[in-house]
Structure 1
Amino acid sequence: MDELSSAPDTKHLVLARAGVDRAAHRRLDEPWLAAAWSHPTTKVLPIAGGEAFVVDAGGGTELVLLPSFEAPESGSRYFLGTDEDGVHYFALDCESLPGRLDGDARPAGLREVGGSLSDRDAGLLVHAVALEHWHRLHTFCSRCGHRTEKAGAGHLRRCTSCAAEHYPRTDPAVIMLITDSEDRCLLGRQALWPEGRWSTLAGFVEPGESIEQAVGREVLEEAGVRVAEVEYVASQPWPFPSSLMLGFLGRAHPDGTGITVDGEELSEARWFSREELRAGMEAGEILPPSGISIARHLVELWYGEPLPAAARW
């Protein structure tokens, strides 16, 4: 891709899809929430440990959503929203998923099935997974140390002692595809990744830092490459456990393209031409980023077309 200003189509980012209005104005309306839960068309998504029941159908995957009167009696309810037909959706945070369901239902997580879910189901599962993890790790008040309790239909925890309110945490992280003057892209790999796996560089935004500054710092720290310019592309939630990935394209400074990996975040980094990346994928020597990651989208923007099907996982 020759111009940073090319406008990408981001509607197919797997974990950034949704088909339900979150209806945040309803979260503190307890009578309305009780009525919504009891409505005969309401659908409930049981979730435990980041997994929900799914069924494979029609070449894709669907969430198993239960009527509220069939949902387990125990567990925390999180209101997820209402669709255009007036159907209400709740997640039910369980210690474990309910007993075996009829048919071919099986437990699965976002990494496995995120790419094969519909827009509605992908949005519901991302929302539910993020809330479940946050609630499990934030049972005590960071101000006074006392226990907190769920409020706001699952989007708030309130201290039982000092009444401090705590909201779900989202950590901003930058993820970037950097190119050089020869239009090669910079990819790196971590030592713990499967053999041949390469991806874009990424890192968390630090306090008091802009996202553009974070891009430059992370690339310099991890690969020793200086970044001259960056342009924002799109964002995608990454609830593993609580990140928001902010995607960028960037150009390396002409005098700063030499690579020196830090040996901690990255074990290797290198510049790839399109021909080198294509040949490596065709030979099975290079595994590109996962299809559910925004990293895949950034690489494909530069590559100019979807990566070969054989390279997907």
Structure 2
Amino acid sequence: MPAAPYVGRFAPSPTGPLHFGSLVAALASWLDARAAGGRWLLRMEDLDRPRCVAGAADTLLRQLEAYGLHWDSTVVYQSTRDDAYAAALDALISQDLAYPCACTRARLAQAPRNAEGEIVYPGTCRNGLPAGAAARAWRLRVPPGTVAFHDRIHGDLGQDVAREVGDFIVRRADHLFAYQLAVVVDDAWQGVSHVVRGADLLWNTPRQIVLQTLLGLATPAYAHVPLITNAAGQKLSKQTLAPALPLSGQSRVLAQALAALGHPPPGELAGAAPAELLAWASGQWQIERVPMQPAIAKPAP
């Protein structure tokens, strides 16, 4: 059988402009698709409406275009996809794979936490709501056992999701669908074959594989690229006040991003235009060269 066509994607949340860490993740995803002769899709994860910033999605598009990272199809906005997520949740409910939960954050304040600092759900509502309690969210009934997966950068990994995470939320108390459900539904709908994203999302993968399995969906190949930190060792993010990507000096910034991905451009490409840098990198790309360790962002000159 011929190999399935490569389809990659970049899925930012429009909560603010892209920063250098976002560029590194986008660039890795774009290069992996281009080196494989595949398609690269763009999806706006604007699911969490209260956190989205007006105009941020348009800013993200302009930033990607300014850095030569062009996508291959119409941009998908998760805020338009509620019907698809509802259908997936209904399918889970019909098989008793999801159940209503009345728990509040206060009720779970004393629950144990996993290595990532997340609450491990203790199963309070798994066998029915407590007397007098009203349903707030919906949780997935996670089956026992280790979810094993191969990351193209980190190697063979596994997690017992039932023990280390517990039954996780698929629809929130504010009636918004949870990220884990939406990303699985959208990746399958868009035919995504390869997911290349930041290492901060590495341990979302076992949860997503659980959902893919229960919904009868294919599991993409995963690769998680190194995080970019500031000088204090904090992940670049809006919370750590990471500056927005500049819309000038793109060649210098792209060269830094390529170096963070283990592909520093040769000296003869110093000052080359973004298109030339990207053409070189597409021909040189080997995901095996991408480091696992975080990289420190260099301050702008």
User: Which gives a bigger RCO, structure 1 or 2 (Cα 8 Å, sep 6+)?
Assistant: 2
Higher strand share: 1
Whether the TM-score (by the shorter chain) exceeds 0.5 is: no
Indicate the TM-score class for this superposition, using the shorter chain for normalisation: under 0.3
Higher helix share: 2
Return the TM-score normalized by structure 1: 0.22
